[in-house]
Amino acid sequence: MKNLLKVALAQIAPIWLDKAATLAKIEANIRDAANERAELMVFGEALLPGYPFWLALTNGAAWDKKVNKELHAHYVRNSIQIEAGELDNVCQLAKEFSMAIYLGIMERAKNRGGHSIYASLVYINEKGEIKSVHRKLQPTYDERLTWAPGDGNGLQVHSLKQFTVGGLNCWENWMPLPRTALYGQGENLHVAVWPGSDHNTKDITRFIARESRSYVLSVSSLMKKSDFPENTPHLEAILEKAPDVLANGGSCIAGPDGEWIIEPILHKEGLIYHELDFNRVYEERQNFDAVGHYSRPDVTKLTVNRERQSTVAFED
């Protein structure tokens, strides 16, 4: 039925900072979700190839420190350049299984020189086409030591059966104007991706659902001290101050009434499934619609710049 959509939330750990191995794990999980007839699959923020946990453990803000420079170089080397075809296999699986996918990656953006990296949320449609790449607008706190700020180009929504889906990265979900940019395009299924932990997902997930009268999928990764690969550069320096659990999950689903459908799930790796009924969106929009009958665009209105930013514009 077109009003029903089966979703899969991938609460998994990366093979940390190992691009090839993490891609293989992602592809295996896509195949598992296909066996359960999932129509939309979501992976956490920066899952490919992992979150920069070292910054909080190695005095990441110190100038000219060898450990931070070498870990940053290793991170960039294991980030994804889409233009080089590094997501082609994922796109092929999306097409093969008629499955839409949201995937959190570290993007080594060619149009910005290919050396800086962006926390990007990639939407691949059920035909295997990359339809948007949303570069995180504002990295959070110590993330700014290794991630570059993005732009508004990826503030886009996509049709999927009767749903209109859009997504934001981590603390972008606390930014009211980017949320409004998605609401105004008709979003009714909001995807929020996180590096992990219920302290992020337990409050904002229900809030966005109640504010927007939409379904909200919050998808987090996992990371334990034991998950750091043995070949990680400067592993001893990282492990010296690392807690046993760096990301405990917290993936969850809230309905358009702002109530839990699936409460945050902790310390459990695997795929979380649920079937969403679009009719619930219309039911909850009856008394509140933030960009429809309960808005006043004659008084307040948002302007969004969706131009893809680049340092150089050539006129050959």
**Residue numbers annotated as active site:** 45, 136, 170
What does the alpha-carbon distance between residue 51 and residue 25 come to, in Å, rounded to a whole number? 16
Any residues with CB less than 8 A from the CB of 78 and at least 6 apart, and which? 17, 18, 19, 49, 106
How far apart (Å, rounded) are the C-alpha atoms in residues 114 and 20? 19
Give the closest residue to 221 by CA, choosing from 194, 201, 252, 190: 194
DSSP assignment letter at 310 = -
What sign does the dihedral 29-219-271-158 (CA atoms) show?
negative
Q: Which two tokens mark 235? A: 């592993």
CA distance 73 to 68: 9
Side-chain half-sphere exposure of 238, counting CA atoms within 13 A: 23
Q: Is 133 helix (H, G, I), strand (E, B) or coil?
A: strand
